[in-house]
Amino acid sequence: MSRIIEKKELVENMFEMVVEAPLIAAKAQPGHFVLVMPEEKGERIPLTIADFDRGAGTITLVIMVVGTTTKKTTRLAVGENLYALVGPLGHPSEIKDFGTVVMVAGGVGTAPIYPIARLLRETGNRVISIQGARTKGLFFWEEKIASVSHEHIITTDDGTYGRKGVVTGPLKEVLESDREKRVGCVYAIGPAIMMKFCSLATKPFGVRTIASLNSVMVDGTGMCGGCRVDIGGKTLFTCVDGPEFDAHSVDWDTLMHRQRIYLKEEKCSLDRYMEEAGIK
Amino acid sequence: MSTVEKKKKIIIPKKTPMPEQEPAVRRRNFEEVPFGYTPEQAQQEAERCIRCKKPSCMNGCPVNIDIPAFIGLIADGDYVGAARKIKESNCLPAICGRVCPQETQCERECSLAKKFEPVAIGRLERFAADYEREQGLIELPQRLPSNGMKIAVVGCGPAGLTVAGDLIVLGFQVTIFEAFHRPGGVLMYGIPEFRLPKAIVEKEVDYLSKLGVTIEFNQVIGKSITIEELFKNLGFSAVFIGVGAGLPSFLGIPGEDFGGVYSANEYLTRSNLMKAFLFPEFDTPIVKGSTVCVVGGGNVAMDAARTAVRLGADNVYIVYRRSRAELPARAEEVHHAEQEGIVFKLLSNPVEIFGDENRMVKAIKCQEMELGEPDASGRRRPVPKKDAYFTIDTDLVIIAIGGVANPLLTKSVPGLELNRWGNIVADEHGRTSLPRVWAGGDIVTGSATVIEAMGAGKKAATDIYKFLSSPAAEAPPWR
């Protein structure tokens, strides 16, 4: 169980892993997440399911290497097992015919956006995707996103590919040009700072905006409350109440601060691991 | 006759003391606090039992251990016999001997307790179980031949382990589904190492595995597999739900989102289950405070406070809104906490938490309280004193005020009746509103004790056995 079937480095420090998990694959829906623990002494981290294949009994995870746990996970070889894999957790995305949807994907957020966009398109939506990254070399799954989009806009912060600038530029333009109010929903998934600014950008237009939060978790089943977020003044848990929330109600600054509680420990842990494992 | 009379004359008024680590030493380690009785001490204590004609101690035991019999065996020097006697009614004696609140159960009913200290039943239970295990003399009981029926147990905590242990010997196949990657539930993630060594939990679970119980880890029933599928696709004949309490409550005061503010569940899970106390050898980090405030007065609050001491805190406060008399924690836990230097700020209620420029906690403001009229629980209600506030500079706040039922599983089961707090409604046998579905432990009662959960598991196991042995069991398992 939880055997790694395929692994490839999509771009530097970004891995796609296909994992054997028939029970999870059978129940997975776009928006769900799993908890992963790479080895016995490891930490438990949440990862949004990037794809699933019910027939093959597998799920796909896209993992950006940021710390010890993601490093350990992506260093596991094909044929090895994850120590623990739990899911599918959280609520699935709300899928219906919104008319037109704008799917904003930033960095690793491209992965969870893909199955949601695919299903929204299958449900009859017109899909406009805005895919952004810092620079050209960090783009992945471009064809996949294109294959489920009626319109596909690409941005890079440094202008090396697509439009120069961040995703909020085209996002505003799409909404400004939408005089008939066809856009029924905006999805924003990526770094918290990107989701915050997408939320600020869509707010004046009054268009419904959904973000998938990446809080720190331990159990992922509601038990610890570590992933608590302030949603419209109410304390909710990302794991059991989310992970998707109305972006306009999220207290983004609190979320971002809570993601940084363990910065010092994370660095200490990674340095120690890299030295032990003999990685430069 | 004459020997009995002799014994009556020489009753020692106090329990035989159990040696334990000195407070100054144990403050900085996670090793178990009490060392347990030696055989001589156990025998001496067992001889304090006056062997009542109509013993009442058993009435206080939620799992009906034959207490006089096992104490008699210890007195006779048959320690292994004593352990096996206990195991006739309790498959987890080394755990119960350590974490049961005996003072409100068996020991309160002990005849000696009217005049003297009661017989130290808990310590003797622990001794017998430890002796059998340490001498390598654990023997598996006889199992009835397989009856071909499968039982699913949801949750590997004390309730689920009890159901599994009771039904496996009766010839059922038992599979426990556990959400975490380790067994034991609260015994593993909640109760700290220094109060219940995890190696002991593992041994007790190992005993059940050797009996044939299967444990499926990393399975969140209701998510990866539904209850309905357990019956329909996987062929189980009955399901027992023992998923524990669930979501932690917070105070609802400003500043609870600052870094360094934890629920006790999170703090203890990081330390106990994820071994954050061994960071960075283990990867899960934990905020280590130098001045720590734990809010709440129950056993969980004591566990959190005593963990904070061991993680190196200089000052640890328990902030509790009622007075000492109302502290819900066991007297022994309060005593141990005080010995370890934990300071009780009683009649104090937090009103705000302050953070620094990095949004890490830096202080907690509390209001002084006084006791007013009794409330619905019969305890005197704490009433705020006007304009009486104080502030503690702190870098770690742990909220240990209980929680509410976890809806993850219950919401996924159509027709399962819940009460208004979201707990499963179950009768005295653990039967729920759904056929062939039993439930017990905290998911039914709200936060309670390990032994109460085991008691509920025991009753459910008996009822499952009765039901599945009756003609009613011929009906199709689901709808």
For residue range B163-184, what is the model confidence (pLDDT) as tens digits?
A: 999 999 999 999 999 999 999 9
Mean pLDDT over B9-24 rounds to: 88
Q: What is the pLDDT of residue A280?
A: 65
Q: If you search the block for the tokens 């350590």, which residue do you land on?
A: B98
Give the pLDDT band of residue A227 (cuts 50, 70, 90).
Answer: very high
**Would you list which residues of chain B are within 8 Å, Cβ to Cβ, of chain A?**
179-181, 217-220, 223-225, 244, 246-248, 250, 252, 256-260, 262-263, 265-266, 269-270, 274-275, 279-285, 287, 358-360, 406-408
Q: Is B1 a residue whose pLDDT tops 60? A: no
What confidence tens digit (pLDDT) does each residue in B294-314 have?
Answer: 999 999 999 999 999 999 999
Determine, for residues A269 and B269 on separate chains, whether the beta-carbon distance falls below 8 Å: no
Give the pLDDT band of residue B9 (cuts 50, 70, 90).
Answer: low
Long-range contacts of B463-468 (CB under 8 A, 24+ apart): B463/B429, B463/B430, B463/B431, B463/B438, B464/B151, B464/B163, B464/B167, B464/B238, B464/B240, B464/B438, B465/B166, B465/B167, B465/B170, B465/B172, B467/B238, B467/B436, B468/B147, B468/B149, B468/B172, B468/B237, B468/B238
Tell me what the pLDDT averaged over chain A comes to.
Answer: 95
Q: Which residues contact A170 (CB under 8 A, 6 or more apart)?
A: A130, A153, A155, A163
Q: Is B242 a residue whose pLDDT tops 70? A: yes
Closest chain B residue to A254 measured between Cα atoms?
B257
Q: What is the pLDDT of residue B71?
A: 96
B376 or B291: which leads in pLDDT: B291
Give the pLDDT band of residue B479 (cuts 50, 70, 90).
Answer: very low
Give the pLDDT band of residue B327 (cuts 50, 70, 90).
Answer: very high
Q: Is A20 a residue whose pLDDT tops 60? A: yes
Cα of A111 to nearest chain B Cα, Å: 22
Say if CB A99 and CB A124 are below 8 A apart.
Answer: no
Q: What is the pTM of this model?
A: 0.93
Cα of B130 to nearest chain A Cα, Å: 27
Contacts A258 to B, Cβ<8 Å: 257, 259
What confidence tens digit (pLDDT) does each residue in A122-138 have?
Answer: 999 999 999 999 999 99
Say if CB A187 and CB A164 are below 8 A apart.
Answer: no
What is d(CA A153, CA A128) in angstroms, rounded to the nearest whole number? 8
Q: Give ipTM to 2 decimals.
A: 0.94
Determine, for residues B224 and A23 on separate chains, whether the beta-carbon distance falls below 8 Å: yes
Provide, for chain A, the percentages of residues in helix, strand and coil under a 3-state DSSP scheme, each rounded to the nearest 5. Answer: 35, 30, 35
Closest chain A residue to B406 measured between Cα atoms?
A222
Give the pLDDT band of residue B2 (cuts 50, 70, 90).
Answer: very low
Mean pLDDT over B471-477 rounds to: 62
Q: In what order do the strands lie in the sheet with A163-164?
A: A163-164, A151-156, A126-133, A100-106, A183-189, A209-212, A244-246
Q: What is the pLDDT of residue A164?
A: 95
- Name the maximum alpha-carbon separation found in chain B: 77
Contacts A83 to B, Cβ<8 Å: 181
Q: Is A108 a residue whose pLDDT tops 70? A: yes
Contacts A43 to B, Cβ<8 Å: 274, 283-285
In total, the C-beta contacts within 8 angstroms joining chain A to chain B are 120
**Would you list which residues of chain A are within 8 Å, Cβ to Cβ, of chain B?**
2, 23-24, 27, 37, 41-44, 68-69, 72, 83-89, 218-219, 221-226, 228, 230, 235, 237, 240, 251, 254, 257-258, 260-262, 265-266, 268-269, 272-273
Mean pLDDT over A79-85 rounds to: 97
Q: What is the pLDDT of residue A22?
A: 96
Q: Is B7 a residue whose pLDDT tops 60? A: no
Q: What is the pLDDT of residue B312?
A: 94
Cα of B349 to nearest chain A Cα, Å: 20
Q: What is the pLDDT of residue B426?
A: 96
Share of chain A above pLDDT 70, in %: 100
Q: Which residues contact B447 (CB under 8 A, 6 or more apart)?
A: B245, B298, B402, B403
Tokens describing residue B221: 């029933």
What is d(CA B222, CA A272) in angstroms, rounded to the nearest whole number? 38
Tell me what the pLDDT averaged over chain B comes to.
Answer: 92
B218, B266, B360 ranked by CB distance to A86: nearest: B218
What confidence tens digit (pLDDT) does each residue in B120-148 have?
Answer: 999 999 999 999 999 988 888 888 999 99
Determine, for residues A222 and B408 on separate chains, whether the beta-carbon distance falls below 8 Å: yes
Say if CB B413 and CB B226 are below 8 A apart.
Answer: yes
Closest chain A residue to B282 measured between Cα atoms?
A41
What is d(CA A32, CA A22) in angstroms, rounded to the nearest whole number? 15
A43, A89, A254 ranked by CB distance to B220: nearest: A89
Contacts A2 to B, Cβ<8 Å: 218
What confidence tens digit (pLDDT) does each residue in B403-444 have?
Answer: 999 888 998 999 999 999 999 999 999 999 999 999 999 999
Q: What is the pLDDT of residue B375?
A: 83
